[in-house]
Amino acid sequence: VNNPIPSNLKSEAKKAAKILREFTEITSRNGPDKIIPPHVIAKAKGLAVLSVIKAGFLVTARGGSGIVLARLPNGTWSAPSAIGIAGLGGGFEIGIEVSDLVIILNHERAVEAFAKGGNLTLGGNLTVAIGPLGRNLEGDVALRSSAAVYTYCKSRGLFAGVSLEGTCLIERKETNRKFYGQDIRASAILLGDVPFPAQADDLYEILASFTEVYENEEQRNNPGKAVREQRRVCALLF
């Protein structure tokens, strides 16, 4: 589990790459049915990656930090925008727990909500559901009519349920300003107004790998579709 204390954007991007690997690589603890499917990230309109600490005694408090990115019209990813997370919950819970969290934005309206800046409360206008696990592509059909937001949470190295109802995601304006050297809003970052930073190359490499894995699996499962797509691309080029 990673550090939930807010840090600079370079460190947050490095942490996000590490978390994505932990959520998607098959290991002795993560079998093929215990990873985020490549197609979920390959087809996402955006995603947020955070580390969160939750403390409870009569009520629970949640806080943490991370980044959010959006898919641009050309299929690449935007530069990262720094975010924080905060929330209160009921229930009698005692203790402290640190978790890593991946939030998949499945629809444009979810990305738009993140891009508006200010504070965003999950579970209001955005439907939230626990995301599917496993490498197979059977989730594609369900994904087309999915919730606006998928959540994945890991605590102590294992996937765990998480409730984000009433949780606020907060734009970290000062962190963005220090990193990009200018006052810039989350909306401008997520719409592609700044190039993705070289300091986050590791993050972009792993994001590109999901698209590559998904496309390779689709070609194996549907070779006819791959041929049609190649012909379509050739027609556009020539």
pLDDT at residue 163, rounded to an integer: 65
Residue 162's pLDDT is 65
The single residue listed with the structure tokens 């962190």 is 175
Alpha-helical regions (H) of the chain: 9-24, 38-42, 108-115, 139-144, 173-180, 186-190, 201-221, 223-237
Q: What is the pLDDT of residue 204?
A: 94
Cα–Cα distance measured from residue 179 to residue 66, given in angstroms and rounded to the nearest whole number: 14
* Alpha-carbon span 142 to 140, nearest angstrom: 5
- 237: Cβ contacts below 8 Å, ≥ 6 apart: none
Contacts of residue 31, defined as CB under 8 A and 6 or more positions apart, other chains included, come to: none
CB count in 10 Å sphere of residue 79: 25
H-state helical runs in 82-152: 108-115, 139-144
In this structure, which amino acid lies at residue 5? I
Residue 194: Cβ within 10 Å count: 19
Q: Where are the domains of the chain?
A: 9-237
pLDDT at 233: 47
> Which of 46, 41, 43 is CA-nearest to residue 21?
41
Q: Residue 33: which of 149, 155, 134 has the closest Cα?
A: 134
User: How much is the pTM?
Assistant: 0.81
Low-confidence ranges of the chain (pLDDT < 50): 137-141, 143-145, 233
